[in-house]
Structure 1
């Protein structure tokens, strides 16, 4: 079986619009856009290791606490 053509995608889009309605799709699209924007802003706020080079470093040692 081959991939779907543009005609198939238009039919699928029409069925989705009929099932969910255009208002719900518009709301879902704006919510998705806001989430992606917030994610990108959140990823940009993380400090890089070079920017954090002057910060105090705490060394810790992990211990194995598995049951014996």
Structure 2
């Protein structure tokens, strides 16, 4: 259904949205979308850092000089 919308159709939709909501409302909406994207990226980075910290804490701490007979 959406495959049949051409550039003129998209332009018409953009004009109708602009007329219905006004420039100020659309501008503030895009600002909120930008804040949401920034917050999402910050959350992703914090999650990755937390995973890296957890992996670092869970690393192998077996002494290097331990022999095979000591392990059994």
Q: Could you tell me the TM-score, scaled by structure 2's length? A: 0.67
Q: Distance in 2 between matches of 1:35 and 1:8?
A: 28
Where does structure 1 differ by over 6 angstroms across 4 or more consecutive aligned residues? none
SS of corresponding position for 2:4: coil
In structure 2, runs of 5+ residues without a counterpart are 59-72
Q: Comparing both structures, which one devotes a greater share of its residues to helix?
A: 2
| Residues 21-46 of structure 1: per-residue CA shift (max 9 Å, x gap) | 01000000011011110111011001
- Offset, 1:10: 0.3
Partner Cα distance (2:28, 2:5) in 1 = 27
SS of the equivalent of 2:54 reads coil
Task: Provide the rounded CA distance (Å) in 2 between the counterparts of 1:17 and 1:29.
Answer: 13
* Bigger Rg, which one: 2
Q: How many residues align?
A: 54
Which of 51, 54, 64 is equivalent to 1:52?
Answer: 54
Deviation at 1:51, TM superposition (A): 2.6
| TM-score when normalising by structure 1 | 0.70
